[in-house]
Structures are given as C-alpha cells and as structure tokens.
Amino acid sequence: MLLVLVLCAALLIALPGDDGPDDDACRALTVGSWKADDGLTAEFARYGDDAGRTDDWTGGDGTHSVRLPDGRVLWLFSDTYLGRVYGPPNPHGESYAWRDAGTPLVRNSAVLMRDGRLESTLPAPLFADPAPNQWRWPVAARVEPRSPGSPEQVVRVLLWVRTAGQSPWIYGVPTATEVATLSLPGLRLESITEVLDQRPVADPSRRVLFGTTLVEEGGWTYVFGGDDGRPAARPVSHAYAARVPKGALADPAAWQYWSGSAWVPRARPRPVLGDGRRKGVGSAFSVVRDGGTYVLFTMAAGPKGLTTVASYWACSPAGPWHGPAKEFTPPLPQGQVAAYNPQAHPVLSGEGRLVLSYDVNWLEMTGAAAQLSRNVSLYRPRFVSLRLTAAR
C-alpha cells in the first residue's frame, strides 16, 4: 500500500509537465533590463505614413508575428485603418501626421516584412466577418505541417470571434476560437475551422478565447487563452492553457485543455493563473520559453495596467506561475493614452535579446476615433528590447 501511495504521489507531481520541459533546467526569470526599440517602431511609422497606396495598412492593434519558411515575417493585426495618411501639420496646426475621419476601418489585416522592411499589405480584411454583427480578430500564428507527419507546410492562424454587445461589452462578447489555414507561399486563405464554441457558457465573463500566444515544446503546441474578467468588473482576468500535437491545430478533436490536474480533450478549461485580485492577466498576453522556463508578459493588475508591464514565470505551461515579478513602464505618448497587449516576437529576437511590442490607444471611448485620426501615431505598435535575468 505504501508503494502504491508513493507511485500515485509521483504521478500527480509529474502531471503538469508530463510532456513539458525538464524541471532541472527551469530557473526563476525576470526582466533584467530593457530599452525602447526605436528602429522597429520607426519602421511601422514609415510604412504607415507612406502615401503611395490607399489600400494598405496605416495603423492597427493586435500585433502578432510569424516567420515564414522563405524568411519573410507575416504581421497580423486586429482592427486596422487603411486609407491614406497626410503629412504634418494636421488641420489643428499640430505636428502630427493625420488621416481623414472617414478613413476605412477593417476588422483585421496582414502585412509582410522582408529583411526588416515592411513591403506590402495583403487584401484586407483577410478574414471575413462570420455573420452580421460578428467579426474575427487574428491572434497568434505558426507554420506547421498540414497534418501530423505531412511534409507540406501551411500557416495556421488563431482567430477570436466576437459578437457586438452592449456595455460593458463594448469590444464585443467573446464567442468562439477558430483556426484559419493559409497556403504557402501564396498565403491564400484555404479554410476556417471552429475549435471551441463558447456560446453555451451563459456568463460572457467566463468564456475563454484561446490563441493570445503559442509556445512550441516537445512535439506539442501550447496555446494560451484568457477570459474577459475586466469588462465584468473583476479586476484581473485569468489565463488558461491547452495543447495540440504538432500539425493538428485545425483539428478540434486533437485539442487538450488543462482541467486543473491533467490535459484532457473536450474538458472545461480551468485557470492556470489568476486570483481575481492581485495576480492575473489582461485578456491579451504573451508567453515565451527560455530554456526550461516559461515567462509570461501581461499588463499589470489594477490601475497600473494602463501603463505597466508585469511578468510571471513557471516550469510548465500549467504552472504553478510565480509573480508578478519586476515591472516596467514602456514609453508612451502624451495625452490620455493606455498601453495594452504586450506581445513577444521571438522571430526578431536573438543574442539574449527579446523583442516585445505593445499597442497604444486613446483611453477614453468618447472621441477616440477623432483622436486616432488627428494623430496617427497613437494607433500603431511600439517596441522594446529586453533581457531576462535570474530572479532574486
């Protein structure tokens, strides 16, 4: 009996990382130093200000990236302004580039970069609305085999489906997670598959959308998601985790969700991080793996969440997650603005340096569209480079 109990205890301890990293290689990590990446921020300003075309990207949020097999980088954005940007001064006499108030706004877009220079915008929106009063926001993406073991590669893009709603759901009611398949090298949209329908969950604040960030490890793609606790008056949202075998992101039956004790198909996801008060995430956050350590970046809990990035670390996607660790406040333009959606970009990182983007928007909903047209730099990603170090 004693032997059985010991074996059961060992099994339970191993469950969170049963196919994950070696715990011996895991160490506590935090942000050691950071600095603004002015060059990358300026590249998006250059491309957005280019008046050579009227159907390309001039501003957007969401800001996810994936490197394609031919070396190009595909940048994915949620709500996006197209149209034309006019040089300063703006009609108010201010030294900002500006756009017309009637500039087209689409729900998603994709921009291609080659050798560090943005080149072109794919026809937008790339992902059409699924139904009236619904839209798709692209989040994380990866290149993977068309099916497990296949030599052919495709791009898989996670999509959040949201439905128009009343206050407090001013950014839409969480509805479903989908996976889109794009061909290579042409990036033609082949299909969109629903992998998790959240409409049966009656309370919108408890609906979980997956895909804010992906991490690859040991033949699995770990997919992280979050609920929308903030609109429902909970101060902090919760993070969730799922995993999918390599090549199977578009197969709903292949998804396994962390149930609180194991990875289980079709299970109700259980949080891996968040206590509803001091610890937790924004609805959009990012996770990277450094050796055997997973590091999560999110906007800080509480009032600092409008300006400050916090981090957590764990030895497994399922946790336990430790933190929040050292926080930092990236540069923000003057005015009533807020930072959100910190996203890591491993495709641009290297030599111990990690590139992180954050989106900037006008804080007050009233008059926000006018402010974003008055100063186009308010609705474009900004970047920092940081280095991780051992936490003390």
Token pair 């108030």 is found at: 101
Task: Say what the alpha-carbon torsion angle 72, 76, 80, 85 is, to the nearest 10 degrees.
Answer: -20
The DSSP annotation for 204-247 comes to: GGG--EEEEEEEEETTEEEEEEE--TGGGT-SSB-EEEEEEETT
Any long-range contacts for 160-163 (C-beta under 8 Å, 24+ apart)? 160/136, 160/209, 160/211, 161/130, 161/134, 161/135, 161/136, 161/194, 162/134, 162/135, 162/137, 163/133, 163/134
Asked if 355 and 113 touch (Cβ cutoff 8 Å), the reply is no
pLDDT band at 232 (very low <50, low <70, confident <90, very high): very low
Tokens of 238: 């919760």
pLDDT band at 116 (very low <50, low <70, confident <90, very high): very high
State how far the Cα of 91 lies from the Cα of 370, in Å rounded to an integer: 12
State how far the Cα of 326 lies from the Cα of 310, in Å rounded to an integer: 6
Tokens of 26: 């895991």
Q: Tell me the per-residue pLDDT of 332-347, one tens digit each, with 9 for 90 and over.
A: 988 888 899 999 999 9
State how far the Cα of 320 lies from the Cα of 313, in Å rounded to an integer: 8
Asked if 226 and 259 touch (Cβ cutoff 8 Å), the reply is no
Higher pLDDT, 15 or 363: 363
CB atoms inside a 10 Å sphere around CB 219: 11
Per-residue pLDDT for 84 more than 60? yes
Task: Indicate the CATH number of 22-390 among 1.20.1290.10, 1.10.3720.10, 2.115.10.20, 3.40.50.150.
Answer: 2.115.10.20
Q: Tell me the per-residue pLDDT of 147-190, one tens digit each, with 9 for 90 and over.
A: 999 999 999 999 999 999 988 888 899 999 999 999 999 999 99
Listed residue (198, 242, 208, 61) closest to 137, CA to CA: 61
Tokens of 57: 């990207």
Per-residue pLDDT for 203 more than 50? yes
Beta-sheet pairing, 80-81 with 286-290: unpaired
Per-residue pLDDT for 227 more than 50? yes
Q: What is the distance in angstroms between the CA of the first residue and the CA of the last residue of the chain?
A: 41
Element (H, E) at 374: helix 368-374
Asked if 254 and 262 touch (Cβ cutoff 8 Å), the reply is no
Amino acid at 209: L
Query: Three-class SS of residue 330?
Result: coil
Element (H, E) at 309: strand 309-314
Any long-range contacts for 14-18 (C-beta under 8 Å, 24+ apart)? 15/261, 15/262, 15/318, 16/316, 16/317, 16/318, 16/319, 17/315, 17/316, 17/318, 18/263
State how far the Cα of 218 lies from the Cα of 23, in Å rounded to an integer: 14
Please tell me the pTM assigned to this model: 0.91
Domain range list for the chain: 22-390
Asked if 294 and 272 touch (Cβ cutoff 8 Å), the reply is no
Mean pLDDT of 69-83: 97
CB atoms inside a 10 Å sphere around CB 345: 23
Asked if 168 and 233 touch (Cβ cutoff 8 Å), the reply is yes
DSSP label at residue 89 = S
Per-residue pLDDT for 10 more than 50? no
Beta-sheet pairing, 64-67 with 73-77: antiparallel
pLDDT band at 235 (very low <50, low <70, confident <90, very high): low
Mean pLDDT of 119-141: 97
Average pLDDT of the chain, as a whole number: 89
* Range with lowest mean pLDDT among 11-20, 53-62, 228-237: 11-20
Asked if 157 and 182 touch (Cβ cutoff 8 Å), the reply is yes
Phi and psi dihedrals of 312, rounded to 5?
A: -130, 165
Asked if 267 and 253 touch (Cβ cutoff 8 Å), the reply is no
